[in-house]
Structure 1
């Protein structure tokens, strides 16, 4: 792992792979770069990829200071600076999509194209998950929580054919205080007022059967970003990018390869 140094001195671990224009892949809450392990190579046909361990995860430092999605976004910029990358495509899923929103808002010149997956604008305008889901996860043992998370991530049929282990269920080496700080950062995310300032052409992706982050957030998010394209993946849950990789990842690459002629191409409500 390579390491960049953030403005506050925190060391952010990251890894690069592949050849071609750079694509930053941002993981979900309380996860390291291993979130992308199973699908990262799908993008190496046309892109080099950059993945990182958020502060508090993996090989990055784990400070006890408060975390925020805005701060995570600035850590992404520290990684790009360390690599000497002036401009990159950015694809964030789940909390990574929240972080990607702030990368595009706070550093518009650094983002060529933006992909936001299974995420939310946050704040009072967003659609929260059912409180029963949060209660069940909070009360569960670690083993039971992993089972609940896997069910929220993947459909039963896919899990039967792919018994795991899964890289999307959290960083097992993460200290509890850092896990709590990730949860707080994600829950306090609110980019609603800032989203109209996104200038990068944007694709919003979401599984229609996602209850972990309700699919109703996708049109809200796309509606706030000028010219954003919305693509709903019929029948998919939270980890659509892994379960439906053969359908969705080529779509992402097509979007990234499209000629940039201004903002995104309107509100496309195609269902895969």
Structure 2
């Protein structure tokens, strides 16, 4: 199993930290909002035995530089720049949360390059999406944001057995400006009009008790992408890919290796 890192410089001269692990066909893993590649730490090796897993730190996170602007479209362009810099022409994509929003654009922008697409705990954005409630927004804006994040990512039973620390609660090194930029990028996402252009076979995954991105969005996305199929994890919250790791990773592996 290889492990390799490099820096990719985008067309606007932003330096992005890139990480590879594994061997085999390429699998691009895209993390959630305000998170770097460590989002995938617990599950990455589930794939690295059969795939060359590729991650990068979004602008403003990890070891990547900050940016004057942030958007899911720009993150998708960064993802393609990363794959270009690695001379990887064709690849699978697995994106969760804001990474799922970014993955939608990657599949739209490069239909001839994306072989299979997995969208987890995400939404199409815009007026067709069912967004989180005001209650959840207030919790995330409160004084105990980290506790609220833990509560919405994982069930109490799972957290009792897996006390953390968790790598899915946001990059603590981010500046306030970058964090605000990521929030705006996620909030402004709207790929609805372009989703029918996705040609890659698509699997949509979601936890039934997700209050960050309500589970109804899974079917909304699947109905918009030709021939997409949906699987939900009963009782799981936003971090289904972590809490339901055995089932979720196994399902993704099966889908990617058909």
The question of a shared fold, defined as TM-score above 0.5 by the shorter chain, is answered with yes
**Residue 52 of structure 1, CA deviation:** 0.8
Match of 2:183 in 1: 183
Match of 1:38 in 2: 42
1:74 partnered with 2:77: yes
Match of 2:241 in 1: 241
In structure 2, distance between residues paired with 1:219 and 1:177: 34
Report the 3-state secondary structure (helix = DSSP H, G, I; strand = E; otherwise coil) of the residue aligned with 2:115.
Answer: strand
Match of 1:20 in 2: 24
Match of 1:262 in 2: none
- Of 50, 54, 57, the match for 1:53: 57
**Residue 20 of structure 1, CA deviation:** 0.7
Match of 2:104 in 1: 101
1:114 partnered with 2:117: yes
* Residues 224-267 of structure 1, C-alpha deviations (whole Å, 9 max, x = no match): 00000111111111000000011110110100011xxxxxxxxx
In structure 1, distance between residues paired with 2:77 and 2:110: 9
Report the 3-state secondary structure (helix = DSSP H, G, I; strand = E; otherwise coil) of the residue aligned with 1:57.
Answer: coil
Match of 1:266 in 2: none
In structure 1, distance between residues paired with 2:230 and 2:11: 34
In structure 2, distance between residues paired with 1:110 and 1:35: 24
**Residue 53 of structure 1, CA deviation:** 0.2
**Residue 45 of structure 1, CA deviation:** 2.6
In structure 1, distance between residues paired with 2:215 and 2:241: 14
In structure 2, distance between residues paired with 1:7 and 1:45: 32
Match of 2:6 in 1: 2
In structure 2, distance between residues paired with 1:247 and 1:226: 25
**Residue 44 of structure 1, CA deviation:** 1.8
Name the TM-score, length of structure 2 as normaliser. Answer: 0.97
Count of residue correspondences = 254
Runs (4+) of structure 1 exceeding 6 A deviation are none
Give ranges in structure 1 of 5+ residues lacking alignment: 259-272
Name the TM-score, length of structure 1 as normaliser. Answer: 0.92
Give ranges in structure 2 of 5+ residues lacking alignment: none
